[in-house]
Amino acid sequence: MKDLRLLALKKSPWVFHVAAASCNNCDIEILDALTPRFDVERFGIVLVGSPRHADALLVTGVINRKSLPRVLKVYEETPKPCLVIAIGTCACDTHMFKNSYNVVGPFDKYLPVDVYIPGCPPKPEAIILGVVKALQKL
């Protein structure tokens, strides 16, 4: 029974896009990955509009004092089990904003991040590869 649930989860990960104050390049690359050219629906990946429907959160951007409570709220709103995927170098390790006054550190200090996809911005191919590898890990 548990295997069936896990298999179903692997075959249909619905993603929700959390843009936590990034420069928008990673967000544009995510939208590119969702276009018919790359056709992620082959793997059952669908972009959903509400965090209540999501199985994976695509988090982009460097986390700061303003965006941290919002991101944590979205994480709480998501039904478990859910994956957290950090997209872009900013989300992975704060990148060049490391010593900025309002940056409160990388995501994994606050959320259990499952996949890190570095790059500034990462290519759509890299994003898809990351998600597929994360699903194999489950």
**Among 25, 27, 63, 81, contact with other proteins (rule: CB under 8 A):** 81
* Residue among 81 and 112 whose Cβ is closer to other proteins: 81
Query: Shortest CA distance to 109 belongs to which of 130, 124, 94?
Result: 94
- For 60, phi then psi, to 5°, come to -125, 155
Segment interacting with other proteins, rule: CB under 8 A, options 8-16, 85-93, 105-113, 128-136: 8-16
Number of H helices, E strands in the chain: 5, 5
Could you say whether residue 48 binds other proteins (CB under 8 A)? yes
The angle at the Cα of 114, spanning 48 to 118, to the nearest 5 degrees, equals: 90
Residues at the site binding other proteins, with contacts judged by CB under 8 A: 4-5, 7-9, 11-12, 36-37, 39, 41-42, 44, 48-50, 52-53, 55, 77, 79-81
